[in-house]
Amino acid sequence: MADTNRPLTNKVALVTGGSRGIGGAICKRLAEGGAHIILTYANSTGQAKEVEEACRSHQVKAEAQQVDAGDIAANKRLVANVVERYGPINILVNNAAVLTVADLPNVTEEAFEQNVAVNLRGLFFLTQAVVEHMPEGGRIVNIGSIFGETAPTAGLDLYSMAKFAMAGLTRAWSQDLAPRGITVNCIQPGPVNTDMNPDDGPLAGFLTPRTAIKRYGRVEEVAEMVAYLVGPNTDNVTGVTLNNDGGSTA
């Protein structure tokens, strides 16, 4: 009989940008559900190792890999290595992203290319590499943003561009992969308390009043939604964007 408390037992999950914040919480929650975790990170080696150890405390395999999310060749090597050592990837969570705040007159070509490389190009071809081996019943979750639905202030040009595109890819991929029983969904967080955007930071005074519940979200709340989408009995949920934003877009 399947362990209902560990419904992801023996599943292999790849979480990009998994060393901290939302990504770290997702890794820990999926490990709690029984999944083996491979997490990628850019620079936060110490935090990545802490997440790795936290995942292993749930008696699963866990491994942190330093990978440039915008490097297509590196991402393909990562996938090949994971498949060789762990088997096909059952769960992919595309969480890695960069955020550059600049309005139209001030966006540089360098910033544009970096945002496209990490937030779109790298994500696209990593996903392509994963689905080449993903078995029937696989799950893909894209971590977007409510800024992929609304742009409430100036300077979100590059980030909104990428997150609007992510929502579009979610819909398109759900059609592409439905014949294989693979679901693709997108979670769009609103303000969430992380070290990059703390609930007492400079943006809090602008963002908090725009939520219906008048507080920042918690990383665990986003992770719980991911756990639902990658769990059992969700074959009928695909191609959708789900806001986790405290009513910011209500």
Other CB atoms within a 10 A radius of the CB of residue 88 amount to: 15
- Are the beta carbons of 16 and 126 closer than 8 angstroms? yes
Catalytic site residue from 41, 86, 159, 216: 159
Our answer to whether residue 228 is catalytic in this structure is: no
- Are the beta carbons of 9 and 36 closer than 8 angstroms? no
**Cα–Cα distance between 30 and 26 in angstroms, integer?**
6
**Cα–Cα distance between 105 and 165 in angstroms, integer?**
21
One-letter identity of residue 31: A
**Cα–Cα distance between 213 and 110 in angstroms, integer?**
38
Annotated catalytic residues are: 159
